[in-house]
A and B are shown apart, each in its own frame.
Chain A
Amino acid sequence: MQQQFTVRQLNQLVKTLLESAPFLRQIQVKGEISNLTRHSSGHYYFSLKDEESQVSCVLFRAQAAALPFEPEAGDKVVATADISVYLPRGNYQLLVTALEKEGLGELYLRFVQLKNKLAAEGLFDAARKQPLPRFPKVIGVVTSPTGAVIRDIQNTLSRRYPAVQLLLAPSRVQGNEAVAELLAALHSLDARPEVDLIVLARGGGSLEDLWCFNDERLVRAVATLRKPIISAIGHETDFTLVDFAADLRAPTPTAAAELSVPDRGELLAQLDELEQRLAKNLRAVLWSYQQYTDELADKAANALRQQLRRQKQQLEGEASRLTALDYRSVLRRGFSITEIDGQRLTSVQQAAKGKKLSSWVADGRVNSTIDE
């Protein structure tokens, strides 16, 4: 006779059967995400569907956290999953352990995963970025010694600010050997005390060509160099992890050269301006001294004039006093001075009959004899 099952037993049997089938472990299923719910527990519930069919899926929180992207309804994905049966309902479901967006290669996924990991470590934080020196004297360049990049950098610096020395640390910039060479070049420049700034540059290329600039060792090295570093890898639209780790990302090697130095023309213009300012300031100082000495001269001249006037007044006062004292003015008023025996006659005691007198009047002398 055939065995009778409870529903529960049946579901348990199917579950055991499905979960133990080796060919159903870690299978990859391609489909589109629909009916997506993100539960407050952090687990995702959704269906994978194609045009004809669908299957329920669970993505647990731990696996969801490791995803390089946030799943959304409509995403075409490849799920890596185990199969299980949900006993209460008797339906089977996929326990998803990894999700990849379809159409994005493995390279891209690795890129995104490494990027997320290093970002989580804080390697790309703005706080880690070093300021660039304004007037570098020695710039270390890591790039291929042949080709357009070093030439572009050279030309740009010659034109913009030739007052700088380039120290080229040559390295291959693609292929398996590149990472080790790039690391050695970076470290040798970083160790040289005269180097103010490092430029790591490479011209454009395919995703694969640029791939070594996503190498974890290289990214970590760039993030932890002692010297400031500008990266310029590929074209403007190319972003490598090295670019995120550098202190400054330049869109092209030429731009990196431009960003690394000040502009000579602008500096010369600044010098012109400073020179004019200096001359103007000096003129202002001279002018104020000129004014000051003019004022002093005016003051001195005034003082002198006043003193002269005072002295003249004094002199005139003295003169009129002298005039008042002059005996001749008395004589002019009719007085006279009389001398007797060579002495001035001031008393009758001096007079005697017959003596000669000599009298001074205003305009001469009168001689006379005393009668009595």
Chain B
Amino acid sequence: MARKKNTTGGFEEKLNRIRELADKLQHEELGLDESMALFTEADTLVKECREFLETAELRIEKLIAS
């Protein structure tokens, strides 16, 4: 059987990072280049998170009693 592949890794971290970036962009005085870089990073993470949620499929594995 296909072994589990940990594609779920870091969803929570990503979500938190997006929030952090949005806050930074809103409240900190940043250079234009830095602002663009933060936005690009956040935008990429949003797309990754969305894809993660939209393409995920429930996986089931049964433990064999030892």
Within the complex, the shortest CB–CB distance from B57 to chain A, in Å, comes to: 5
In the complex formed, the residue of A with least CB distance to B41 is A278
Could you tell me if A166 and B59 are in contact, using CB atoms closer than 8 angstroms? yes
Residue numbers in B under 8 Å from A164 (CB-CB): 8, 56, 58
- Main secondary structure, interface of A, reads helix
Could you tell me if B12 and A135 are in contact, using CB atoms closer than 8 angstroms? yes
In the complex formed, the residue of B with least CB distance to A159 is B58
Also in contact, A162 and B32, with CB within 8 A (given A274-B46, A278-B21, A282-B25): no
Among A134, A162, A184, find the residue whose CB has the most chain B CB atoms closer than 10 A: A162
The CA-CA distance from A19 to B26 in the complex, in Å, is 87
Could you tell me if B61 and A166 are in contact, using CB atoms closer than 8 angstroms? yes
> For chains A and B in complex, what number of residue pairs have CB atoms within 8 angstroms?
102
Q: Which residues of A line the B interface, CB within 8 A? A: 134-135, 137, 145, 154, 157-158, 161-170, 181, 184-185, 188-189, 264, 267-268, 270-271, 274-275, 277-278, 281-282, 284-286, 289
Query: Using a Cβ–Cβ cut-off of 8 Å, how many residues does chain B contribute to the interface with A?
Result: 36
In the complex formed, the residue of A with least CB distance to B12 is A135
Q: Which of A169, A268, A277, A289 contacts B22 (CB 8 A)?
A: A277
The CA-CA distance from A164 to B8 in the complex, in Å, is 7
Q: Which residues of B line the A interface, CB within 8 A? A: 4, 6, 8-9, 11-12, 15, 18-19, 21-22, 25-26, 30, 32, 35-36, 39, 42-43, 46, 49-50, 52-54, 56-63, 65-66
The CA-CA distance from A275 to B50 in the complex, in Å, is 11
Residue numbers in B under 8 Å from A286 (CB-CB): 32, 35
Write 30 A-B pairs (CB below 8 A) sorted by A numbering.
Answer: A137-B6, A137-B8, A145-B62, A157-B58, A158-B57, A162-B57, A162-B58, A163-B8, A164-B58, A165-B4, A165-B8, A165-B59, A167-B61, A168-B61, A170-B65, A184-B65, A188-B65, A268-B50, A268-B54, A270-B15, A271-B18, A271-B53, A274-B18, A274-B19, A275-B46, A277-B26, A278-B18, A278-B21, A282-B36, A285-B25
The CA-CA distance from A277 to B36 in the complex, in Å, is 14
